[in-house]
Amino acid sequence: LTRIVILAPPEVNVKTMSPLNVMKEYNENTEEALKLLERRYRKLAGEKSVGFISLLKAVSPGNYVDGLHPDDEGQKEIADAVWRGIRRFFN
């Protein structure tokens, strides 16, 4: 059985954003853009009758290396969220 699943990306943590990422202008606007993207992906999944997994809140705020990229624990949180989401489709 093949199943298409759209994943919405995790959010960022502007409070722990590295100076480099601040210089690249990752900020509150990035947070809002990711929330909008999540809503649009959710809507698209519904329109196309495909699966949807939101990772927006999957990573704990302290589990980012540089405010943008999840660290090892954050990656585990993502894996857990994806696995839980995939299991929903097969139960």
What is the pLDDT averaged over residues 42-62?
97
Q: Does the pLDDT value for residue 5 go beyond 70? A: yes
Residue 38: pLDDT band with limits 50, 70, 90: very high
Contact 76/53 with Cβ under 8 angstroms?
no
Q: How much is the pLDDT for 91?
A: 72
> Which candidate, 66, 58, 71, places its Cα nearest to that of 16?
66
Give the Cα separation of 62 and 15 in Å (integer).
10
What is the pLDDT averaged over residues 17-22?
96
Q: Does the pLDDT value for residue 14 go beyond 80? A: yes
pTM for the predicted model, two decimal places:
0.90
